[in-house]
Amino acid sequence: MKDQVKKSLGPAFRAAQLDLAKCPACRGRAVIKGVFHELACVQCNASGWVTAETGEALPLEVLVTQLSIRLQAAEHQIAQFNCFKPASAEAQYNANNRCGAGGTNFTGD
């Protein structure tokens, strides 16, 4: 049986996240130290990132998209960590604990 080819018209509906690695030439710093000054790394287009599979620099349009996807994922992860902050002692003191008579605030006196 022949291998079936998936047919699609137009670009993908979602941008796929590519595996990125730090540039081996500049070690992810985007610049290479020269004798008197720092030069932009030409191996990674001064971004510090290359494709993990081939080690080649990404085109600028793809690089911007990939970095935006990574930034949004990191911001989402940070937001998840920040929403589970334990309440401070002052916030707990001011909140109604509804453990007293008739659902009033119990102060322990």
**Mind listing the pLDDT tens digit of every residue in the chain (109 residues)?**
556 666 767 666 777 788 899 999 899 888 988 889 989 998 998 889 999 999 899 898 999 999 999 999 999 999 888 776 666 777 777 777 777 787 777 777 6
| C-alpha torsion sign, points 45, 11, 21, 71 | positive
Q: Tell me the whole-structure pTM to 2 decimals.
A: 0.59
Quote the CA–CA distance of 63 and 31 in Å, as a whole number.
Answer: 17
Where do the structural domains in the chain lie, given as residue ranges? 20-84
18-40: burial string, b at 16+ Cβ within 10 Å, e else: bebeebeebebebebeeeeeeee
Cβ neighbors of 13 (< 8 A, separation 6 or more) are none
